[in-house]
Amino acid sequence: MSTKVETATRAGTAVGLPLERVDAGEKLRGQARFTGDLDVGRMLHGKVMRSPLPHARIVSLDASRAERLAGVVCVLTGRDLLDLPSPLYGHALKDRPIVAIDRVRFAGEPVAVVAAEDEATAEAALALIDVEYEELPAAVTIEEALAPDAPLLHEGPQRAGLFHGLGELGEREGNVCYRYHIDRGEIEAAFAHADVVVEGEYTFPAVYQYALETHTVIAEHRPDEITVWASCQHPFLVRAELADLFGLPLHRVRLIVPYLGGGFGSKSYTKMEPITVAVARKAGRPVRIRNRVDEAMLTTRRHGLRCRMRTSATAEGRLLGREVELWLDTGAYADNGPRVTATGGDAAPGPYRWAAYRVDAACVYTNTSPSGSYRAFGATHVQWIGESQVDEVARRCGLDPLELRRQNLCVTGEELRAGGKPLDADLIGDVEKVAEAIGWGRPRQRWRGRGLSVGLLAAGAHPVSNATVRLESDGIAVVLVGTTEKGQGARTVMAQIAAEELGLPLERVRVQGADTRYTPYDRSTGASRSTTLAGLAVQRAARDVRDQLARIAGSDPDPDEYVALMRRHFGFAGGELIGVGEVRPRGTGSYAEGPVFWEVCVGAAEVEIDPETGVVTVLRTATVADVGRAINPKLVERQDEGATLQGIGNALFEEMLWIDGQLANGDLLEYRIPTLRDMPAEMTCIVVENGDGPGPYGAKGCGEGALAAIPAAIVNALADAGVPMTELPLTPERVWRRIRELEKEATGG
Amino acid sequence: MSTKVETATRAGTAVGLPLERVDAGEKLRGQARFTGDLDVGRMLHGKVMRSPLPHARIVSLDASRAERLAGVVCVLTGRDLLDLPSPLYGHALKDRPIVAIDRVRFAGEPVAVVAAEDEATAEAALALIDVEYEELPAAVTIEEALAPDAPLLHEGPQRAGLFHGLGELGEREGNVCYRYHIDRGEIEAAFAHADVVVEGEYTFPAVYQYALETHTVIAEHRPDEITVWASCQHPFLVRAELADLFGLPLHRVRLIVPYLGGGFGSKSYTKMEPITVAVARKAGRPVRIRNRVDEAMLTTRRHGLRCRMRTSATAEGRLLGREVELWLDTGAYADNGPRVTATGGDAAPGPYRWAAYRVDAACVYTNTSPSGSYRAFGATHVQWIGESQVDEVARRCGLDPLELRRQNLCVTGEELRAGGKPLDADLIGDVEKVAEAIGWGRPRQRWRGRGLSVGLLAAGAHPVSNATVRLESDGIAVVLVGTTEKGQGARTVMAQIAAEELGLPLERVRVQGADTRYTPYDRSTGASRSTTLAGLAVQRAARDVRDQLARIAGSDPDPDEYVALMRRHFGFAGGELIGVGEVRPRGTGSYAEGPVFWEVCVGAAEVEIDPETGVVTVLRTATVADVGRAINPKLVERQDEGATLQGIGNALFEEMLWIDGQLANGDLLEYRIPTLRDMPAEMTCIVVENGDGPGPYGAKGCGEGALAAIPAAIVNALADAGVPMTELPLTPERVWRRIRELEKEATGG
C-alpha cells in the first residue's frame, strides 16, 4: 500500500472525534445478532465427540447405536471424508483432518459429530458412539517432543497451506514443523568483546484467548454451494480453505459473519468451519455447532514458549549483541504456529541498535490442543524476556533503565530489519511518556517496584483490502468492507472514515457486515490491520464517490445537496454512486517488505508484592497507543485498556495446565481470566498522534501493543522490587518461592 | 444512457452464441431455490382473509376468536396500521391500504391476515374472524364507473407515489385517476379532407398474467430493519416503497430475490410485500404468505379496455389522421394504471407517418381487482385495433395491406413523437420478413386468412442501472447486478456480456441474484430493459476490470494469465479487482426524452376458421425479434415463442369475467391459459440484428413485441378470411355469432 499520508481535505465531521459506537444502540437493546442467535431454518444441532486420549490409533468406531437414537439425523466420522480431494486443512500447513481419521493427536480432538434435531439429543447420542483406541506414547511438552526418541505426531512430507507465505517449505525435522532464523552482524564478536553479558532461560505458559462468545458455526451444504454463518475473524481466508477442502470455486462458498463477541485471535483463520460443513454435507440440512467454553479451550490457545536468551553490552551500557533460542509449542496441528514463531523471532531482539543478533526459533508439535493467534502474538511471548535482560544490563552498568533505553533505542526512520520497513514511530518519546505517567524516578517504598518496557510488533499482516461505498439515493452512504466487527469498534471506525470523506454525519453512514458473496475482499481482521488497511480502502472508496459527486456538481458539493444532485444525475429517485477502494502491497508484495507498520509496545507498571503471600498487585499502568492519528480516541483508549487487562492476566495468573496429557483447568472455574477486580487503580493510556502511519489520515492500528508491553513492565517492576522472575505467570506461589530463594541466596543459604 | 454502440473489441467468447442457460443445470436438477422453497427459521405462515363484497364499509371486525385458536400467533387488521406515517402505498398513486381500513373496494381485497405456526391453522382461523360489512353500491365496469351517479371509489386529493413520473398530478375527476392526451397536427383537417374514414368501437378484456410461481413473500420485521424475500421483479422499487411505508432509510430495508418462476409484469412493483411486512411486524417473527392461484388472480391482472378509434386516408391509401379515445379499467387501485394508460396512448397511433393524430386516454377506477403491468402493456391493448383499421383502409382503397404499410410506415431515423427518440428500427424490412414467412400473397383457401401487424412499444422504462463485476483471485468473475432472473434468461445474458468483455468462458462467470443490501441499484426488470440497460452496466463494469488488468499487465492480458497477474498485483492468493458500471439518462433524465429504444411489435399469422363452430385455429405465426444484436439467439427465440403463445391466448380465449362484482373464473380450471396444444404448427421467429440498439454490442431488448403483434395479426387474418372482429377474445361463440351476423348482412337479412 501507499506510504503517502492521505489527509482529510475537508473540515472533520467524524475523524478524530470520540463518537459513540454505531453498534452501541442495538447491542445495548439486545437486538444485535450473533451467530448463535440465528436460526436459518431446518437447522440441526451438532455436538462433537472428542478423544479422551492425547495420542492414539482409532481401532474401531461404531456410530450405529447413536444413529438409531430418535432425533439423530447422522453421525460424521473420518470415513465420511474419503471422497474429498484431501481431508486435511491448515492455512500454513495442511496437517489437520476435518475430523479424526484413524488417529487422534490430542485429548479433545474431534472424533465424530452427531447432528440431531436438538442439542440435548445430540449430546445424549455421543455416549452411544463406540470407539476403541490403541493408545500411543504421547509428547505433551516441548521437551518430550524434542527428545530423540519422541513419538512423531506427523509423518510424510509437509504440505503447504494456501497461505503458507513463509518462503520455502522446509523438511519437517521430527516434531519441528517450522524453523525461523535471523542472523545479523558478527554475533560471536558482539559477545567476545562485551563487558556485560546477561543470560537466562525462560518459560511462557500456554494461555487461552478467552472471548465471551465461543466459536459458533452454522453451515449449509447444497450441491455446488456452501453457506456458512460463522463467528470468524477472517471470512475470506476461511472461504478459500473451505473452497479448497470441498473442491469448489471461491464464489460457491459463502461466509456470512454477524457480530463477533470478541476474538483476540481465537477466531482467526479456520477453526470449526470445516467440521460443521462436513456434518451439514452428510446431514443434507443446515447444522449449527456451538462450542461450550471447555470445547473452545480445546479448539485454540496461545503457544507456550521456552526461551534461552543472552544479551551483551559495554560497561557504559551500549547494547552489543543478543542471541535467542525459542521453542514454541504449537500443539497437535500447526494452525498459525509458523507465523507466530516468525513474529516472535522478529520481536526477540527488540527495537535496539545492535551490533549483532541471532535468533533461532522452532515451532514444535506436541500432543496438546492446537495453538493459533492471540493478540500481540510473538511479541507478548518474548518482549518480557528481552526487556528484563535490558533492565538487568542497566542494573549491572549502574544506569537508569530509561536512560539506557534512550541511548540504545532505534530512532524514527532507522532501519530495523535488513531491507524492511524503517521505524515509523518515536519510541524514546513514547517510553518517556509512560515513565512520567507512573512517576518514574520518584522514591519508592520497599516491596514496590516500577518497570518499563519497549517493543515492536510487526503489524498489518498482508496488506490487501478492497472496499466499496454506495451512496444511495436518500443520501446515506453504505460501506461494504470485509472487516469483521468483533467488539473492537471496526464498523464505527469505518463509518467515521467514510463520513469524514463525504462530509456526512455519522448517522448517514452504514457499515454492512461481511458476506463474502457480496462484500469486497479483505484479507483478515487481526494484526491491528483494520483501521490502517481496510480503513484506507474505505477512505479511497469514499473519496471515489466524492470525486464523482464533484464531477456531477461541477464543484465540491455540499453534503446537503447530494440527494438533489443524484436525482438530477439519474433523473429520478433511484440509482446510486459506487466508489471503489483498493489497498495492496507497494512492491513485491511479500512479507519481506517488512510490516505495514510497526506497532509500538510501550508500557510501564508499578507493582506491590506481598512478601508473605507472594501476591503481586499492579498499582498503576501506563501504555502508549502510538496510532499516528486516532480515528476515534475513545475506542483507542478502550483498546489499550482491554489489552492492559489481558496483559495483567498473562503476566500474573493465566496458564493452561496439562496432567497426563489432559487439560486440567479447561473451563472458567479453574482457568482464571482477569476481571474488573484485577484492574489497576490507575490505568493511563497515552494516545500519541504523530500522523506517521500508512493508514487514512496518517493512522496506524492499535490495540495489541499493550498486551506485549504490560507483562514485560510488570516483570521489570518485580525485578525493580528485588524479585527477578524468569517464568510466567507470576503466581503467588512462584513469587513466594522466588522470594524465599533470594532470601536464601542473600543469607548465603 | 449513451447512444453510442459499444462493440466488442476482442474475439467473442460468449456474445452472439446460443449458449445453454447458466441456471439450466440447477433448475433441471430441482436445486434452484424459489422464495417458496426457503425456510428462514422461526417462520410463520400467513393467510389472507378477503372481502366477499365488491364495495362495502367495514362496520366491525373482531379477530379475537381467531387469535385464541391454538397455533395462531396474531391477526393483522387495519387497526394495526395506525402508527405508520401513512398506511397507503402505490408507486404511481398512493391509494392502496396495506390491508383494508374501514372499507373494501373489491371482492377479494385483503381484510385481515392470520399468522400461524402452519398454513392449515392460518387457513382454519380465517373462518373465526367476524366481520360485519355495510354494502355500498359498486361500479364494476368502465361504463358504471363513468356514469354520472357512479359511486366514488376514492375521495380526497390524489397523492403522488414515489415513482409517479408522469408529470403534474392532476385532480381526480370522479373515478378517473389519470388522463393522458396527445394532440399532433390539425386533426379536424385530417378527417375533413379524407377519402376514406374507418371507425369503430372496440373491447379488450381483462386478462391474467399467469406465471407458474404465484406471489410469495417472506418478511421479517426487526426494530429498524426489514428483510424481505420476495418473488418480485423490481426489488429496488419495492425497497423504496417499503422504506417509505414503514419510515426507514433505504438501507434498512433489504429485498432478497431468489429465482422467479415467471413474472410477465405480475410481479412488477409492490404487491404482497407490504402486507407481509405488516403481519411480520405484528408477529415479531418472520412470516410467509404464499398466494394460491385464485389469490394471485385477485392480486393483479391486465387492464380491460374500451376504445373508440377512427382512421382517415386518401383514396390512394395515404394515411392522414387518427383519433383515439381509450378507457382503461385499473380496478380498485391505480397500481401501474397511469403508465399503462400513457403507453397505450403512445402506441395507439402506430408507427405511421400521420398528418395528425389525437389521443385521449383515461385510467378508470372500478370495484374490481387492481390492474398492473403485463408484458407489452398498452401496445397489446391497442395495436390490434389500430392495425385492423389500417387493413380496413387498405381493403377500401383496394391496396395490399403490405403495400399500404410500405408506403406509410415511418423509416429508420424518422421522428415518431415530438422531441422523442427517432425510430431506431427498420419496420418495413421487418414486416416484409414476417409476410414472406407466412406465405403472404400466395393463394389461400376459403375460411383461411392471413394478417400482418406492425407496432412499436416504448421500451426500457427509466434508464438507470448500476452493476459491479468482481474478478476473484481464482480468475472467476462475479457479476453483481440487480436484474431478477424470472425465467427469461437474464443471468445467462449478463454472464455472456461479462464473459465476452473479459474473454472468459461462460463457466468462469457467475451472476449473483439480487439482494438490495449488496447488489447495485437497478431500476427494474421489465419493459425489455435488462439486456439493454443492466447489460450495458455489466459491460461497463466488466470493461473496467479489463482495463485494470491491462494496466497491471502493461498490455492486454490473456485471460489465462489473470490469476497470475492478480497474484502478482496483490502479492498473494487473495484480493479482487472490482469494476463499476453505471447507466443513466443522457439528458434531463425524464421520460420526455422518449424511450430508451423502440421495441418493434411486428408479426404475421395465418388462421383457419371453422364456420360451423366458430373455432379459430392459428396455423402459422411469424414474429420479428429486432434485437439489434442477439446476445443469445436461442434465448431471443424462446422469448418470442413465449410471447407468441401468450398473444394467442390473449387473442383467442383469455378473459376475466365478473358476475355481480365477483370474479367468476378466478382459477385455472375456469380461466383458460394457452398450452402447448395451442401452439401453431409453424412458428417462425426472425431475429434481426442491425446493431442499432443502445445496449451492449448494439443490442436492444426483446420478448414483448410478439405479444402485441400476434393478436393484431390474428384479428387481421380473421378479417382477411371475411370475419372482422372488434371484441377480444375471439371465442368460438363470438366468432360464430359474427359469422351469422355477416351472413345475415350478406343475404340482406
The 3-state secondary structure of A342-379 reads HHHHHHCCCCECCCEEEEEEEEEECCCCCCCCCCCCCH
Encoded amino acid at A675, one letter = T
Confidence bin at A539 (pLDDT 50/70/90): very high
In this predicted structure, what is the pLDDT of residue A590? 46
Residue B142 has pLDDT above 50, yes or no: yes
Cell numbers for A712, please give them: 514485560
List B residues 87-126 in contact with A (Cβ-Cβ < 8 A). none
- B541: exposed, middle or buried (Cβ count in 10 Å: 0-12, 13-18, 19+): buried
The string of pLDDT tens digits covering residues B527-542 is 999 999 999 999 999 9
Pairing of strands A196-204, B597-609: unpaired
What pLDDT does A419 receive?
77
pLDDT of residue B13: 82
Instruction: Classify residue B13 by its DSSP letter.
Output: S
Phi (first) and psi of residue A435, to 5 degrees: -60, -45
- A175-201: per-residue pLDDT in tens? 999 999 999 999 999 999 899 999 999
Which of A104-108, B497-501, B590-594, B604-608 shows the lowest per-residue confidence on average (mean pLDDT)? B590-594
Nearest chain B Cα distance for residue A86, angstroms: 19
Per-residue pLDDT tens for B591-632? 456 789 999 999 999 999 999 999 999 999 999 999 999 999
**How confident is residue A560, by pLDDT bands cut at 50, 70 and 90?**
very high
- Residues A54/A367, Cβ–Cβ less than 8 Å: yes
Cis peptide before B463 (omega within 30 of 0): no
Cα pseudo-dihedral B338, B342, B347, B353, rounded to 10:
170
* Contact check, Cβ <8 Å, B515/A510: no
Cis before A729? omega within 30: yes
Of B474, B574, B578, the CB nearest to A523: B574
Q: Which three cell numbers stand for residue A423?
A: 521505524
Task: Please list every residue in chain A whose beta carbon sits closer than 8 Å to the beta carbon of residue B41.
Answer: 38-41, 43
CA–CA separation, B746 and B733 (whole Å): 20
The per-residue pLDDT for range B431-478, each reduced to its tens digit, is: 999 999 999 999 999 999 999 999 999 999 999 999 999 999 999 999
Bridge partners, residue B606, by sequence: B450, B620
Q: What is the mean pLDDT of chain A?
A: 95
Contacts across the A-B interface (CB distance below 8 Å): 166
**What CA–CA distance (Å, rounded) separates A104 from A125?**
20
Residues A262, A35 contacting (CB under 8 angstroms): no
Q: State which H helix or E strand residue B685 sits in.
A: strand B682-688
Interface mutation vs chain B, best among A474, A521, A524, most B CBs within 10 Å: A521
pLDDT tens, position by position, A388-433:
999 999 999 999 999 999 999 999 999 888 778 899 999 999 999 9
Distance from CA of A696 to the nearest CA of B (A): 19
**Residues A28, A21: Cα–Cα separation, whole Å:** 11
A547 touches chain B (CB under 8 A): no
pLDDT value of residue B419: 77
8 A C-beta contact, residue B261 and residue B235: no
Per-residue pLDDT at A730: 98
pLDDT at B166 over 90: no
CB contact burial A496-531 (16+ within 10 A = b; e otherwise): bbbbbbbbbebebbbbbbbbbbbbbbbbbbbbbbbb
pLDDT of residue A749: 61
Q: pTM score > 0.90 for this model?
A: yes
Average pLDDT over residues B331-349: 96
- Find, in chain B, the residue whose alpha carbon is nearest to that of A221: B31
Question: Which one-letter amino acid corresponds to residue A305?
Answer: L
Q: Mark residue B156 as left, alpha or beta (left: phi above 0; alpha: psi -120 to 50; beta: remaining).
A: left
Give me A323's grid cell. 542471541
Average of per-residue pLDDT across A613-624: 98
Radius of gyration of chain A (CA): 26
A580: three-class secondary structure by DSSP? strand
Pairing outcome for strands B465-471 and B577-583: antiparallel
* Eight-state DSSP code of residue A108: T
Q: How far apart are CA A185 and CA A190, in angstroms?
A: 8
List Cβ neighbours of A248 (8 Å cut-off, separation of 6 or more).
A224, A225, A226, A242
Which of A42, A578, A586 has the highest number of chain B CBs within 10 A, making it the mutation to test binding with B? Answer: A578
| B181: contact with A, CB 8 A cutoff | no
Amino acid at B105: R
Residue B738 corresponds to which cell in the numbers above? 359474427
**Other CB atoms within 10 A of residue A68 CB:** 10
Grid look-up 443469445 returns B632
Task: List, in order of start, the domains of chain A with CATH numbers.
Answer: 24-32+464-584 (3.30.365.10), 399-460+592-746 (3.30.365.10)
Strand spans (E) along B24-172: 44-50, 56-62, 72-76, 88-89, 96-97, 103-104, 110-116, 130-135
| DSSP single-letter state for residue A212 | S
Whether B402 and B622 have beta carbons less than 8 Å apart is answered as no
Contact A236 B574 (CB under 8 A): yes
Contact A520 B580 (CB under 8 A): no
Minimum Cα–Cα distance from A244: chain B residue: B474
Rounded to 5°, the CA angle A40-A43-A46 comes to: 130
Q: How far apart are CA B184 and CA A337, in angstroms?
A: 81
**Is the pLDDT score of B699 beyond 90?**
yes
Q: What is the ipTM of this complex?
A: 0.95
Test A582 with B582 for CB contact under 8 angstroms.
Answer: no
Classify residue B333 by its DSSP letter: S
Give the pLDDT of residue A166.
77
Mean pLDDT of A118-137: 98
Q: Is the CB of residue B179 less than 8 Å away from at least one CB of chain A?
A: no
Average pLDDT over every residue of B34-50: 96
pLDDT at site A5:
33
pLDDT at A10 over 50: no
pLDDT band at A87 (very low <50, low <70, confident <90, very high): very high
pLDDT of B632 reads: 97
> What is the mean predicted confidence (pLDDT) over B35-54?
97
Return the pLDDT at B749: 60
Chain A hits for B585, CB-CB cut-off 8 Å, are 570-571
Residue A727 DSSP code: B
Where does B377-468 have alpha helices with state H? Answer: 379-397, 401-408, 427-437
Give the pLDDT confidence score for residue A525 in this predicted structure: 95
The amino acid occupying position B436 is E
Paired strand residues for B62: B130
The burial of A332, by beta-carbon neighbours within 10 Å (0-12 exposed, 13-18 middle, 19 or more buried), is given as buried
Closest CA to A459 of A619, A270, A594, A637: A594
pLDDT of residue A142: 98
Instruction: Judge whether B134 counts as a catalytic residue.
Output: no
The answer for A 587-626 residues in CB contact with B (under 8 A) is 588-590
pLDDT digits (tens, 9 = 90+) for A145-162: 999 999 999 999 999 999
The Cβ-side half-sphere exposure at A382, using a 13 Å CA radius, reads 33
| pLDDT of B121 | 98
Per the DSSP assignment, residues forming a β-bridge with A227 are: A220, A254
Closest to B451 measured CA to CA, from B190, B742, B730: B730
Residues A473, B521: C-beta atoms closer than 8 Å: yes
Sorted by sequence, the CB contacts under 8 Å of residue A366 that are 6+ apart come out as A139, A140, A141, A142, A144, A145, A153, A175, A329, A330, A331, A332
List beta partners, residue A46. A115, A289
Q: What pLDDT, in 10s, does the model give residues A665-708?
A: 999 999 999 999 999 999 999 999 999 999 999 999 999 999 99
CB of A470 less than 8 A from some CB of B: yes
Of the residues B704, B733, B741, B743, which is catalytic?
Answer: B704
The span from the CA of A43 to the CA of A192, in Å, is 68
Per cent of chain B over pLDDT 70 is 97
Q: Which of residues 5-44 of B touch A (CB under 8 A)?
A: 26, 29, 31, 38-43
Q: What is the DSSP string of B577-594?
A: EEEEEEE--SSS-SGGG-
User: What integer is the mean pLDDT of A737-745?
Assistant: 96
pLDDT digits (tens, 9 = 90+) for A53-82: 999 999 999 999 999 999 999 999 999 999
Contact A575, B464 (CB under 8 A): yes
Residues written for chain A = 749
Average confidence (pLDDT) over B493-510: 97
Confidence bin at A588 (pLDDT 50/70/90) = very low
Residues of A whose CB is below 8 A from B229: none
pLDDT reported for residue A167: 78
Mean pLDDT (chain B, rounded): 95
Residues B390-399: b if buried by 16+ CB within 10 A, e if exposed = bbbbbbebeb
> Does A518 touch chain B if contact means CB atoms closer than 8 Å?
yes
- Listed by number, the residues of chain B in 201-240 with a beta carbon closer than 8 Å to a beta carbon of chain A are 222-224, 236-237, 240
**pLDDT surpasses 50 at B7:** no
Mutate to test the interface with A, among B246, B470, B515, B545 (most CBs of A within 10 A): B470
Identify whether the C-beta of residue A729 lies closer than 8 Å to the C-beta of residue A205.
Answer: yes
Q: For B205, what's the count of Cα atoms within 13 Å in the CB-facing half-sphere?
A: 21
